[in-house]
Structure 1
Amino acid sequence: MSEFFDALETRDPAERERDLLAALPRQVLQAQTAAPAFGEILRDVPAGDVNSREALARLPVTRKSELLELQKARRADDPLGGFAAVARGARMPRVFASPGPIYEPEGAGRDYWRIGRALFAAGFRAGELVHNSFSYHMTPAGAMMENGAHALGCTVFAGGTGQTEQQIEAMADLRPDGYVGTPSFLRILLEKAAEKGIALPSLTKALVSGEAFPPSLRDHLAGLGVQGMQCYATADLGLIAYETAAREGLVLDEGVLVEIVRPGTSDPVPDGEVGEVVVTTLNPDYPLIRFGTGDLSAVLPGVCATGRTNRRIKGWMGRADQTTKVRGMFVHPSQVAAIVQRFPEAGRARLVVEGEMGEDRMTLHVECSAPPEGLGERLADAAREITKLRAQVLLVPAGSLANDGKVIEDARSYR
Structure 2
Amino acid sequence: MTTHYDALEVRSPSEREAAQFATLPQQVAHAQSHAPAFTGILKGVDAAAVTSRAALARLPVTRKYELLALQQSSREAGGDPFGGFSALRYGAAMPRVFASPGTIYEPDSTRKDYWRMARALHAAGFRAGQLVHNCFSYHFVPAGTMMESGAHALGCTVFPGGTGQTEQQVQAMAELKPAGYVGTPSFLKIIVDKAAEMKIGLPSVTRAMVSGEACPPSLRDWFAGHGIAAYQCYASADLGLIAYETEAREGLVLDEGVIVEIVRPGTGDPVAEGEVGELVVTTLNPDYPLIRFGTGDLSAVLPGSCPTGRSNTRIKGWMGRADQTVKVRGMFVHPGQVADIARRFPEVLKARLVVSGEMANDSMHFQAEAASIPEGLDQRIGEAIRDVTKLRGTVQLVAPGSLPNDGKVIEDARSYK
Q: Do these two structures clear the TM 0.5 threshold for a shared fold by scoring above it?
A: yes
1:100-153, Cα deviation, whole Å (9 max, x unpaired): 111110111210000000000000001111111111111100100000001111
Match of 1:219 in 2: 221
Match of 2:397 among 392, 395, 398: 395
Match of 1:283 in 2: 285
Normalising to structure 1: TM-score of the pair?
0.98
Q: Secondary structure at the match of 2:9?
A: helix
Q: Secondary structure at the match of 2:106?
A: strand
Match of 1:303 in 2: 305
CA distance in 2, matches of 1:169, 1:327: 57
CA distance in 2, matches of 1:375, 1:113: 49
Letter in 1 for 2:93: R
Match of 2:344 in 1: 342
Please tell me whether residue 40 in structure 1 is matched to residue 40 in structure 2.
yes
Q: Secondary structure at the match of 1:360?
A: strand
1:331 CA drift (Å): 1.0
Match of 1:294 in 2: 296
Match of 1:132 in 2: 134
CA distance in 2, matches of 1:3, 1:117: 12
CA distance in 2, matches of 1:381, 1:189: 58
Match of 1:21 in 2: 21
1:386 CA drift (Å): 1.0
CA distance in 2, matches of 1:53, 1:147: 31
1:167 CA drift (Å): 1.3
Match of 2:157 among 152, 155, 159: 155
CA distance in 1, matches of 2:171, 2:389: 57
Please tell me whether residue 187 in structure 1 is matched to residue 200 in structure 2.
no
Match of 2:325 in 1: 323
Per mean C-alpha deviation after superposition, the further-off stretch among 219-228 and 190-199 is 190-199
Match of 1:197 in 2: 199
CA distance in 2, matches of 1:84, 1:297: 27
Match of 2:258 in 1: 256
CA distance in 1, matches of 2:356, 2:174: 53
1:209-229, Cα deviation, whole Å (9 max, x unpaired): 111121111111111221100
1:345 CA drift (Å): 0.5
1:7 CA drift (Å): 0.9
CA distance in 2, matches of 1:340, 1:311: 29
1:196 CA drift (Å): 2.6
Letter in 2 for 1:85: A
Match of 2:12 in 1: 12
CA distance in 2, matches of 1:45, 1:292: 19
Per mean C-alpha deviation after superposition, the further-off stretch among 35-44 and 375-384 is 375-384
CA distance in 2, matches of 1:327, 1:379: 20
Q: For the aligned residues, what is the CA RMSD?
A: 1.0
CA distance in 2, matches of 1:357, 1:166: 49
Q: Runs of 4+ in structure 1 displaced over 2 angstroms?
A: none
Please tell me whether residue 232 in structure 1 is matched to residue 237 in structure 2.
no
CA distance in 2, matches of 1:173, 1:331: 56
Report how many residues are paired. 415
Match of 2:69 in 1: 69
Letter in 2 for 1:98: S
CA distance in 1, matches of 2:165, 2:387: 54
Normalising to structure 2: TM-score of the pair?
0.98
CA distance in 2, matches of 1:277, 1:48: 24
1:411 CA drift (Å): 1.2
1:220-270, Cα deviation, whole Å (9 max, x unpaired): 111122110000000000000000011111111000011000100000111
Per mean C-alpha deviation after superposition, the further-off stretch among 71-80 and 401-410 is 71-80
Q: Secondary structure at the match of 1:348?
A: strand
CA distance in 1, matches of 2:357, 2:194: 44
Please tell me whether residue 30 in structure 1 is matched to residue 30 in structure 2.
yes
CA distance in 2, matches of 1:296, 1:212: 14
Letter in 2 for 1:360: D
Q: Secondary structure at the match of 1:100?
A: coil
Match of 1:95 in 2: 97
CA distance in 2, matches of 1:331, 1:156: 48
Q: Secondary structure at the match of 1:22?
A: helix
